[in-house]
């Protein structure tokens, strides 16, 4: 579950060495197998790495998406139990198919995904920009029987509560928020200031963090029931991580704007 903590090192190694890219793909395939189904955070982070490594180093990584890799992803699509992991996997495949159809290394993956997704509701896989529901402090919570098990998604944006979700869902949301914050933090370090404003992956995770923070702050202020002391501390720490990552992102955006402003200014013609 610590893969994202070492994201710059992983990316640098994969860029520098095709062997490292192959090893990463092989390890990711193992993480996506049934052997790790009881470790959803590990699988969630592995899917995040697919998105990042498919972008950089790109084809030296994607060329390792062979039949065993695709078969593992297919089995996960069909048998995975964790809703957060399933949602992210579907969004990731949708995104890769939409944005990287030119990469023939992923032809097997795309063929499998198009066949599998044709049997799904389009609402089950995106696209999704914000992955947390908004929170209305003036609206009463839904009865427990109406609480869906979905993670942050546009599909459950109708759900606004002053209380806390079930413990398992709350834990999943906190984990997803922390992971998104880590990845945004690491991705901001990797992307050059001259490219930060056009980096769609950075923008996506900035949106994820912003949306997640709205929910986390709602849970901090929940009073029906309120969070216990340990949970409240975890929520506050998670909120701090989200704030730090977003602040770092905004500073990098400012650097990018200043850089582009300096490099793109041309003298005005004399009047």
Residue 124: predicted pLDDT: 58
Instruction: Write out pLDDT tens, residues 63-119.
Output: 999 999 999 999 999 999 888 899 889 999 998 999 899 999 999 999 999 999 998
Residue 246: predicted pLDDT: 96
> pTM score, two decimals?
0.68
Site of tokens 């901090």? 220
Integer Cα distance of 218 and 119 in angstroms? 36
Average pLDDT over residues 35-63: 91
Integer Cα distance of 132 and 55 in angstroms? 25
Instruction: Write out pLDDT tens, residues 136-185.
Output: 333 333 333 333 333 444 434 434 447 898 888 898 889 889 988 988 99
**Structural domains present in the chain:** 3-124 (1.25.40), 166-263 (1.20.58)
Q: Is 90 exceeded by the pLDDT of residue 228?
A: yes
Q: Which residues of 127-150 are buried (b: 16+ CB within 10 A; e: fewer)?
A: ebebbbbebeeeeebeeeeebeeb
Per-residue pLDDT band at 126 (split at 50, 70, 90)? low
Integer Cα distance of 189 and 6 in angstroms? 12
Residue 150: predicted pLDDT: 38
Per-residue pLDDT band at 261 (split at 50, 70, 90)? confident
């Amino acid at each position: 579950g610590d893969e994202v903590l070492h994201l710059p090192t992983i990316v640098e190694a994969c860029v520098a060495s095709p062997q490292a890219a192959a090893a990463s793909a092989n390890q990711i395939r193992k993480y996506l197998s049934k052997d790790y189904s009881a470790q959803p955070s590990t699988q969630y982070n592995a899917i995040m790495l697919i998105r990042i490594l498919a972008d950089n180093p790109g084809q030296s990584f994607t060329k390792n998406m062979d039949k065993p890799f695709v078969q593992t992803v297919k089995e996960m699509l069909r048998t995975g139990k964790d809703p957060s992991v399933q949602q992210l996997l579907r969004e990731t495949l949708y995104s890769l198919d939409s944005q990287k159809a030119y990469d023939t290394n992923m032809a097997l993956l795309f063929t499998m995904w198009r066949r599998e997704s044709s049997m799904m509701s389009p609402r089950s896989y995106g696209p999704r920009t914000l992955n947390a529901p908004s929170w209305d402090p003036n609206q009463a919570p839904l009865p427990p029987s109406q609480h869906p098990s979905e993670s942050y998604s546009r599909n459950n944006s109708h759900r606004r509560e002053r209380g806390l979700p079930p413990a398992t869902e709350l834990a999943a949301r906190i984990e997803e928020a922390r992971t998104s914050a880590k990845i945004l933090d690491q991705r901001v370090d990797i992307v050059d200031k001259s490219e930060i404003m056009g980096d769609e992956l950075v923008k996506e995770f900035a949106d994820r963090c912003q949306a997640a923070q709205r929910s986390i702050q709602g849970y901090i202020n929940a009073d029906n029931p309120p969070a216990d002391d340990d949970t409240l501390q975890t929520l506050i720490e998670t909120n701090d991580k989200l704030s730090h990552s977003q602040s770092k992102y905004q500073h990098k955006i400012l650097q990018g704007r200043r850089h582009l402003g300096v490099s793109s200014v041309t003298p005005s013609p004399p009047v």
